[in-house]
Amino acid sequence: MSRIGKQPVALPKGVTVTVAANNEVTVKGPKGEIKRKVDSDIAIKVSGAELLVERPTDQKRHKAMHGLYRALMANMVKGVTDGFTTKMELVGVGFKAAATGQNLDLSVGYSHNIIIQLPKEIKVSAVTEKGSNPIVTMESFDKELLGAMAAKIRSFRKPEPYKGKGIKFVGEQLRRKAGKTAGK
């Protein structure tokens, strides 16, 4: 039995879960609404103030999906109640970030600025304080979308191992290299 899959997901007040006939789960809460199609073998049941994920057999495929869908449902519930936040730091001389509405304008050492149009589900803000690196903060109720956009932004200038220049997550530990040694 999946240890993750058999745990019920607690539904806080203000969160409603509906399961359609085609196994599409809709979670509504104060922050937004998320829909996800669930595999037809997995059963999603709402009983009282908790959500249960059940599997039909002990096949390896069913065991894997059992824990997966329970974790996805837990993330959906947490997203519509609390939301998720990702902070990214731009490390490098002259690196800048500016957020206007749903556009994020990055200056990360190329001959041109990179302008990214973010989905409406993501709220973005950029803070630049004197003497510190610019920090881009993104908030959303959809963890999957937030992670995908953060990975896309990071891919424009990944941190390099010698000086650590690039776009990195706040708190991320980078593997650093020593570089060339002086003389023989």
- pLDDT tens digits along 74-92: 999 999 999 999 999 999 9
Structure tokens at 121: 């589900």
Considering the chain, tell me which residue range(s) the CATH 3.90.930.12 domain(s) occupy.
9-81, 84-169
Q: How confident is the model at residue 181 (pLDDT cuts 50, 70, 90)?
A: confident
pLDDT at 183 over 60: no
Between CA 145 and CA 138 the distance in angstroms is 11
The CATH label, of 1.10.357.10, 3.40.50.720, 3.30.700.30, 3.90.930.12, for the domain at 9-81 is 3.90.930.12
| φ/ψ bin of 183: left (φ > 0), alpha (ψ from -120 to 50), beta (otherwise) | left
As its CATH architecture, domain 84-169 has Alpha-Beta Complex (3.90)
pLDDT at 28 over 70: yes
Average pLDDT over residues 29-39: 94
* CA nearest to 106, candidates 147, 165, 149, 157: 157
Q: What is the DSSP letter of 146?
A: H
Range with lowest mean pLDDT among 26-30, 115-119, 179-183: 179-183
pLDDT at 1 over 70: no
Q: How far is CA 161 from CA 71, 72, 92, 132, 165, in A?
A: 33, 34, 13, 20, 8
Q: What is the mean pLDDT of the chain?
A: 93
What is this structure's pTM? 0.88
pLDDT of residue 141: 96
